[in-house]
């Protein structure tokens, strides 16, 4: 996801940035990814604001803004201060200006329509959660080999292991009927997932033509913004290492 976001940003592909950032936002909400990643992504998007980069930042902020407000008040204050400067001092489209104003209203209402974790998705106990520190600019292995199908000679054995782990995590019943239903439903789920993946790939192909034109429109308060975000990130890292 991080690699996809970076790729989308470099290629000026707004749709890829939107989808990748939304997924990352929910990983942050679920405590899978550390909030430092959120601050770094927002900093990149708002450093040299354009209509498209601000739109991506606002969509991202709506998804994980409440979580960020809880764990890094200094960081989210810096982000909204940057949005305020962009609103008043940058030459952005009226539509994007309206989006920024709506974002301030969302924050004022306490992100009431954008909870940290949606109902029914709070599945993992807090003691079992592990948060990964994933800096935006680190070198990551995309593991492209996983995109190539390879026959598993021990498929049935591994499938039973998967069912046991799934049952433990989701606290499912132990009855044979549930097991049989689970086997059938898992096959259905696999078919649905494959269809959804094909649709997503087609959608990306169709929407890939949308390009982001990034221009350096303002440098006002940029140094202060960078410094504030840097301090917020360092403060967050120190707090995390202390715990």
DSSP 59-122: HHHHHHHHHHHHH-HHHHHHHHHHHHHHHHHS---HHHHHHHHHHHHHHHTTSTTS-SS-TT--
Q: 65 vs 232, which has greater pLDDT?
A: 65
Residues 6+ apart with CB under 8 A from 116: 29, 64, 66, 67, 70
Contact 133, 240 (CB under 8 A): yes
Domain boundaries, the chain: 2-138+211-242, 153-207
Q: What is the pLDDT of residues 34-93, one digit of tens each?
A: 999 999 999 999 999 999 999 999 999 999 999 999 999 999 999 999 999 999 887 899
Average pLDDT, the chain: 80
Closest of 193, 162, 194 to residue 179, by C-alpha: 162
CA atoms of 218 and 50, how far apart (whole Å)? 10
The domain made up of 2-138+211-242 has a fold known as 1.25.40
Exposed/middle/buried for residue 229 (C-beta within 10 Å: 0-12, 13-18, 19+) = buried
Helices H, strands E: what count in the chain? 9, 0
Contact 34, 131 (CB under 8 A): yes
Q: What is the pLDDT of residues 104-152, one digit of tens each?
A: 999 999 999 999 988 888 878 888 888 998 888 888 888 888 788 888 8
């Amino acid at each position: 996801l991080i690699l996809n976001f970076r790729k989308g940003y470099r290629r000026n592909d707004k749709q890829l940035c939107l989808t990748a950032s939304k997924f990352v936002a929910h990983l942050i909400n679920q405590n899978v990814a550390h909030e430092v990643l959120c601050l770094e992504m927002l900093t990149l998007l708002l450093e040299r604001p354009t209509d498209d980069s601000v739109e991506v930042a606002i969509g991202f902020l709506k998804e994980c803004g409440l979580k960020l407000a809880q764990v890094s008040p200094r960081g989210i204050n810096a982000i909204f201060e940057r949005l305020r400067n962009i609103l008043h001092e940058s030459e952005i489209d009226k539509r994007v200006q309206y989006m920024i104003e709506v974002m301030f209203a969302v924050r004022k209402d306490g992100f009431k329509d954008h909870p940290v974790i949606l109902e029914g998705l709070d599945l993992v106990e807090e003691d079992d959660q592990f948060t990964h520190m994933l800096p935006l600019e680190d070198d990551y292995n995309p593991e492209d080999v996983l995109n190539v199908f390879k026959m598993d000679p021990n498929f049935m054995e591994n499938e039973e292991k998967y069912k046991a782990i799934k049952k433990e995590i989701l606290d499912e019943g132990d009855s044979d009927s549930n097991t049989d239903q689970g086997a059938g439903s898992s096959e259905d789920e696999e078919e649905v997932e494959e269809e959804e993946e094909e649709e997503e790939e087609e959608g990306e192909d169709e929407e890939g033509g949308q390009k982001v034109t990034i221009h350096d429109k303002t440098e006002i308060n940029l140094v202060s913004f960078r410094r504030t975000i840097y301090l917020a990130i360092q403060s967050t890292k120190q707090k995390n290492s202390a715990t």
